[in-house]
RNA sequence: CGGGGCGUAGCGCAGUCUGGUAGCGCACUUGACUGGGGGUCAAGGGGUCGGAGGUUCGAAUCCUCUCGCCCCGACCA
């Protein structure tokens, strides 16, 4: 038996095929297999597969798929390799050597550097790290195994005893094994939406580097810089609108005395199950526990009570940017996490008319922001009794449709009536001198908007962002072959960046400026790798800049959502001139596409049969249906189909009000409501 | 809380059945070549195997306990 030369690179032997594509044989494998010609005629370890006594090629009795693999191996040099239908085969030289003597051929064993050394196939000494580790180990007291039967150095020269599972059993793997992952030289791939929508969502967040699960804190997430930059732009856009509508920011404590929560009956009932409670502090048990705010109506109610005494103190218009905590059982990044960031507006008014007006006004701000800035169309409506905020008289909401047809409550605006005013004794003396309770509102949107943004626009290549919220609008990829070219290209890139960065693309009417943000990606990577990198992050515009472009005074521009080939070559000056329009058009395209989807996937249903059919399994759409207005029917529909009433549309947001019969109960109904499965 | 899966290098995972020198791929570092859609080669760095007990000459591997995470259900923005 000839000695087996080690593969030069020291890589494992890997053959891979999936039955659909030709087997993939790595180059180092090729070399090694080529040198294994000596074992062409090994006997198969399983006698049942060894039809003729003596010699037979291993591939012969195997399935067609496996034969394909074995065939590839033969073509490479005549080595006989027994694959199993499963696709990943690793075979180690030591195993082959054993196999040549007899009974066992362990697959799933790597031919790594260490193993090669052990088998005497690798001349080079262990690396420094290995040496250090070994030295450290040697200094510990240890049992000398030399010469004993369990000494592996001796054993490796003999066939291993014990049960022989055989190559197929050992290599069997119903799930893609480590090889398939190990074979990939690409970053983690993004699962296509059609295959697994929730998985796709997680993949996009990871690949775009928006956030990651905290893991060490249950149900929480870390919002990474790129993800937080999006949230910051959302904050800025909303905050300026709140200021424009007369609100002021303030901050209230994170901890709320437990007794506060219990003051409003419906409120405590709604939130009790998801409260996190602080019982100890400073090494001692607290006399009264604090709850970590799930929302701040109670503590703000308390302070409103102290601050408001006259109608002259009204309206009180406060907003708070804060974190809140709700102990959820199942979490999803951005959409539902234990801790999340949001904005909560709290206002107090002298009359119900005025507070109701505030509730509508802020819902208007939200919907304008959702559609204008996020390019996410929404339906404005009223929550049903069961879906409304715990403690509110009425809740308004905006509902967006995600790409899987499910609804996402993207913002809420509550008419609190006098409920909290009464609970916290927030009274004022009116012009007529009477003491009256204030009328309050609260309204909020959260980091959930980021989730909505992702699920509105992104595609199988990764994140897609509307320019109005993109932290980076354009990335310049310099193309060059040598230092000289690099210098010229980089200089041109800097010049272009300077021009672009001076352009303000803030929408009309806002009180802030929003300059185009440009990155020049001068990392030492292949241009292609950079393309994918920024594509996954949803950067709206990519500019390739190379020597040819410099010569012609042009730039190569590729918008994020165009197909791979859709590159435009534009005169550099004209491009800069028209870049704002270009971004505006892109923003408009995203909104139009989202509107189209919502239009395409919204249905009107009149029979329960159709309803069941529409929502069977995991499917969802927006469905306008008649409902008899009772919580019982609502609960029955939910129990049977998981579909909920997302909202009762405000005028103009759904079909015109017309009498009908409830889709479930058949009882009379005055108008259709929006039904869908929800996040 | 029920059902399922999993804790081994930064990430993804082999190795655990059958105890005997801690491995692979990606990522990372250095150098060279390369550069208009995920490059190649070479040389390197990095882990007391989730934790605690136990069995053993010897435990990632066997036993007991424990902690944590993910997925699927019941609750929710």
- Position A609 scores a pLDDT of 94
Half-sphere exposure of A136 (CA within 13 A, CB side): 6
- Chain A 491..510 CB hits on strand B (< 7 A): none
**Contact present, A240 and A246 (Cβ < 8 Å):** no
Q: How far is the CA of A28 from the C1' of B10 (A)?
A: 27
CA of A176 to C1' of B71 (A): 18
User: For A159-163, A269-273, A323-327, A439-443, which range has the lowest pLDDT when averaged over its residues?
Assistant: A159-163
Which nucleotide has the least CA–C1' distance to A162? B18
- Contacts of the segment A555-558: beta carbons below 8 A, 24+ positions apart: A555/A496
Asked if A574 and A580 count as a contact pair (C-beta separation under 8 A), the reply is no
Q: For position A187, what pLDDT does the model report?
A: 55
Number of helices (H), then strands (E), belonging to chain A: the values are 22, 28
A213 CA, B58 C1': separation in Å?
Answer: 40
Instruction: Name the nearest CA neighbour of A239 among A408, A223, A231.
Output: A231
Binned at pLDDT 50, 70 and 90, residue A273 comes out as confident
Average pLDDT over residues A114-118: 30
Alpha-carbon gap, residue A48 to A159, rounded angstroms: 20
- Our CA dihedral for A612, A614, A615, A619, rounded to 10 degrees, sits at 150
pLDDT of residue A558: 96
* Cα–Cα distance measured from residue A425 to residue A298, given in angstroms and rounded to the nearest whole number: 11
Q: Pinpoint the alpha helices (H) of A349-447.
A: 352-372, 419-423
Nucleic chain B: which protein residues 200-219 of A have CB below 7 A from it? 202, 213, 215-219
Round to whole Å and give the CA distance between A409 and A674.
Answer: 12
The mean pLDDT of A562-583, rounded to a whole number, is 92
Give the mean model confidence (pLDDT) for residues A514-531: 93
* Average pLDDT for A118-130: 31
A574 touches strand B (CB under 7 A): no
A572 phi, psi to nearest 5 deg: -60, -45
Question: Which of the residue ranges A88-102, A242-256, A294-308, A383-397 would you say has the lowest mean pLDDT?
Answer: A88-102
Across the strands, what pairs with A316? A348
**pLDDT for A57:** 23
- Of A residues 238-267, those with CB within 7 angstroms of nucleic strand B are none
Q: What is the pLDDT of residues A533-561, one digit of tens each?
A: 999 999 999 999 999 999 999 999 999 99
Number of Cβ within 10 Å of residue A387's Cβ equals: 19
Residues 617-676 of A with CB under 7 A from strand B: 642
Task: Please report the pLDDT score of residue A192 as a whole number.
Answer: 86
- In the three-class reduction of DSSP (H, G, I as helix; E, B as strand; rest coil), residue A635 is classed as helix
When pLDDT is averaged across residues A248-267 and rounded to a whole number, the result is 94
Confidence of residue A247 (pLDDT cuts 50, 70, 90): very high
The answer for residues whose C-beta is within 8 angstroms of residue A148's C-beta and 6 or more apart is A154
For chain A, percent helix, then strand, then coil, each to nearest 5?
35, 20, 40
- pLDDT reported for residue A143: 32
Gyration radius of chain A over CA positions: 33
Whether A357 shows a pLDDT value over 60: the answer reads yes
Percentage of chain A exceeding pLDDT 90: 59
Give me the pLDDT at residue A466, please: 98
Dihedral angle of Cα A210, A212, A217, A218, to the nearest 10 degrees: 110
Confidence class for position A213, pLDDT limits 50, 70, 90: confident
CB atoms near residue A178 (< 10 Å): 12
- Tell me: pLDDT of A64 over 70: no
A190 pLDDT more than 70:
yes
Token pair, residue A592, equals 């139009």
* Ramachandran angles phi, psi of A287, nearest 5°: -65, -45
- For the purposes of burial, counting CB atoms within 10 Å of the CB of A38, is it exposed (0-12), middle (13-18) or buried (19 or more)? middle
Kindly tell me if the per-residue pLDDT of A371 is higher than 60.
yes
Q: How many CA atoms lie within 13 A of A169 on its CB side?
A: 8
- CA torsion, points A484, A487, A492, A493, in degrees to nearest 10? 130
Query: Which pLDDT does position A514 carry in this prediction?
Result: 96
Instruction: Protein contacts on strand B: list nucleotides below 7 Å from a Cβ.
Output: 1, 11-15, 17-27, 34-47, 57-58, 68-77
* Tokens encoding A603: 């249905």
Question: In the predicted model, what is the mean pLDDT of residues A328-350?
Answer: 91
Q: Which nucleotide comes closest to A547 if you measure CA to C1'?
A: B36
Pick from A8, A55, A48: nearest CA to A28: A8
Return the pLDDT at A565.
67
Q: Which two tokens stand for residue A102?
A: 């007899």
Per-residue pLDDT, A518: 97
Q: H/E element holding A345?
A: strand A339-349
**Nucleotide showing the shortest C1' distance to residue A182 CA:** B25
Average the pLDDT over A277-282 and give the result: 85
**Gap between the Cα atoms of A160 and A66, Å rounded:** 26
Interacting residues of A626 by C-beta distance below 8 A, sequence separation 6+: A606, A660, A661, A662, A663, A669, A671, A672, A673
The nucleotide closest to A337 (CA, C1' atoms): B77
Q: From the CA of A253 to the C1' of B2: give the distance in Å.
A: 37
Q: Kind of pairing, strands A622-626 and A602-604?
A: parallel
Q: What is the pLDDT of residue A158?
A: 28
Rounded percentage of chain A residues whose pLDDT exceeds 70 = 72
pLDDT winner (highest mean) among A75-79, A276-280, A327-331, A558-562: A558-562
Mean pLDDT computed over A583-595? 97
CA A332, C1' B72: Å apart? 14
Residue nearest to nucleotide B19 (CA to C1'): A150
Report the pLDDT value the prediction gives residue A259, as an integer from 0 to 100: 93
- CA gap A186, A546 in Å, rounded: 25
**A232: helix, strand or coil:** helix
> Is this prediction's pTM over 0.90?
no
Give the span between the Cα atoms of A84 and A357, in whole angstroms.
Answer: 71
> Residue A551 is inside which H or E element, if any?
helix A547-552
Band of residue A154 on the pLDDT scale cut at 50, 70, 90: very low
For residues A438-463, give the mean pLDDT: 95
pLDDT of residue A105: 26
Q: Quick check: A68 pLDDT over 50?
A: no
d(CA A653, CA A655) in angstroms, rounded, equals 7
pLDDT number for residue A113: 29
d(CA A413, CA A452): 18
The pLDDT value given to residue A17: 26
Mean model confidence pLDDT for chain A: 76
Instruction: Kindly tell me if the per-residue pLDDT of A206 is higher than 70.
Output: yes
Q: Which nucleotide is nearest to A544 (CA to C1')?
A: B36
Residue A329 has pLDDT above 50, yes or no: yes
Alpha-carbon distances, residue A641 vs A59, A96, A178, A636, A673 (angstroms):
52, 57, 39, 9, 16
In this predicted structure, what is the pLDDT of residue A304? 98
Judged by C1' against the alpha carbon of A142, the nearest nucleotide is B58
Mean pLDDT is lowest, of A259-268, A328-337, A393-402, for A328-337
A447 confidence band (pLDDT: 50, 70, 90):
very high
Contact (CB, 8 A) for A159 and A98: yes
Scanning residues 391 through 450 of protein chain A, those with a beta carbon under 7 Å from any atom of strand B turn out to be: 409, 412, 446-448
User: CA–C1' distance A641–B74 (Å)?
Assistant: 15
What pLDDT score does A173 carry?
23
pLDDT at A439 over 80: yes
- Which nucleotide's C1' is closest to A340 (Cα)? B77
Least reliable range by pLDDT among A91-100, A358-367, A386-395, A550-559: A91-100
Split at pLDDT 50, 70, 90, the class of A89 is very low
Lowest mean pLDDT of A157-171, A293-307, A618-632, A650-664, name the range: A157-171
- In this complex, the answer to whether residue A563 has its CB under 7 A from any atom of chain B, a nucleic strand, is no
In this predicted model, which residue has the larger pLDDT, A335 or A58? Answer: A335
Start-to-end Cα distance in chain A: 65
**What's the pLDDT at A282?**
82
pLDDT at residue A116 above 90?
no
Question: pLDDT tens digit string along A489-518?
Answer: 999 999 999 999 999 999 988 999 999 999
């Amino acid at each position: 038996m000839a000695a087996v030369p080690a593969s030069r690179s020291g890589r494992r032997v890997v053959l891979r095929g999936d039955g659909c594509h030709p087997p993939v044989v790595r180059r180092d494998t090729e070399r090694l297999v080529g040198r294994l010609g000596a074992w062409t005629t090994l006997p198969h370890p399983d006698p049942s597969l060894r039809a003729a006594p003596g010699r037979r090629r291993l591939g012969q009795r195997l399935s067609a798929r496996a034969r394909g693999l074995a065939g590839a191996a033969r073509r490479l040099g005549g080595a006989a390799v027994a694959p199993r239908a499963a696709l990943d085969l690793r075979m180690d030289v030591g195993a082959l050597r054993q196999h040549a003597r007899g009974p066992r051929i362990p697959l799933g064993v790597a031919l790594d550097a260490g193993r090669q050394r052990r088998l005497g196939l690798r001349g080079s000494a262990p690396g420094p790290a290995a040496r250090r580790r070994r030295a450290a180990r040697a200094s510990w007291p240890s049992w000398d195994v030399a010469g004993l039967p369990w000494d592996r150095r001796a054993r490796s020269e003999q066939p291993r005893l014990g049960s022989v599972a055989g190559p197929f059993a050992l290599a069997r793997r119903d799930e893609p094994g480590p090889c398939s992952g190990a074979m990939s030289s690409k970053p983690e791939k993004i699962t296509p939406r059609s295959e697994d929508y929730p998985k796709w969502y997680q993949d996009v967040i990871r690949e775009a580097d928006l956030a990651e699960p905290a893991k060490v804190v249950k149900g929480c997430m870390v919002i990474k810089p790129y993800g937080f930059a999006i949230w910051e732009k959302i904050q800025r856009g909303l905050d300026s609108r709140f200021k424009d509508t007369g609100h002021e920011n303030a901050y209230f404590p994170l901890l709320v005395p437990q007794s506060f929560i219990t003051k409003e009956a419906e409120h405590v009932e709604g939130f009790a199950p998801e409260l996190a409670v602080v019982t100890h502090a400073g090494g001692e048990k607290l006399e009264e526990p604090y709850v970590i705010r799930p929302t701040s109506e109670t503590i703000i109610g308390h302070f409103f009570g102290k601050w408001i005494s006259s109608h002259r103190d009204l309206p009180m218009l406060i907003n708070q940017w804060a974190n809140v905590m709700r102990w959820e059982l199942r979490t999803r990044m951005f959409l539902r996490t234990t801790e999340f960031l949001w904005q909560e507006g709290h206002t107090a008014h002298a009359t119900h008319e005025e507070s109701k007006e505030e509730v509508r006004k802020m819902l208007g701000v939200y919907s304008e922001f959702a559609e204008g800035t996020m390019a996410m169309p929404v339906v404005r409506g009223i929550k049903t009794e069961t879906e409304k905020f715990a403690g509110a008289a009425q809740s308004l909401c905006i509902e967006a449709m995600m790409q899987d047809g499910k609804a996402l409550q993207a913002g809420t605006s509550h008419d609190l009536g006098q409920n909290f005013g009464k609970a916290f004794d927030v009274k004022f003396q009116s012009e007529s001198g009477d003491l009256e309770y204030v009328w309050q509102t609260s309204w909020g949107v959260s980091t959930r908007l980021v989730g909505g943004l992702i699920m509105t626009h992104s595609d199988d290549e990764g994140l897609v962002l509307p320019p109005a919220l993109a932290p980076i609008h354009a990335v310049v990829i310099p193309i060059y072959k040598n230092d000289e070219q690099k210098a010229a290209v980089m200089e041109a890139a800097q010049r272009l960046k300077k021009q672009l960065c001076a352009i303000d693309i803030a929408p009309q009417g806002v009180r802030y400026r929003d300059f185009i943000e440009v990155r020049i990606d001068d990392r030492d990577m292949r241009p292609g790798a950079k393309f994918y990198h920024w594509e996954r992050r949803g950067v709206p515009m990519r500019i390739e800049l190379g020597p040819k472009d410099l010569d012609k005074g042009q730039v190569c521009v590729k918008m994020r959502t165009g197909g791979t080939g859709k590159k435009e070559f534009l005169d550099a000056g004209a491009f800069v001139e028209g870049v704002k329009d270009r971004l505006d058009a892109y923003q408009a395209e995203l909104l139009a596409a989202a509107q189209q989807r919502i239009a395409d996937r919204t249905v009107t249903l009149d029979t329960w049969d159709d309803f069941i059919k529409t929502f069977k399994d995991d499917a969802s759409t927006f469905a306008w249906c008649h409902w008899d207005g009772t919580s019982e029917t609502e609960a029955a529909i939910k129990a049977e189909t998981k579909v909920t009433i997302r909202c009762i549309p405000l005028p103009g947001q759904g079909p015109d009000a017309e009498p009908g019969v409830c889709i479930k109960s058949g009882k009379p109904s005055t108008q259709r409501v929006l039904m869908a499965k929800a996040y």
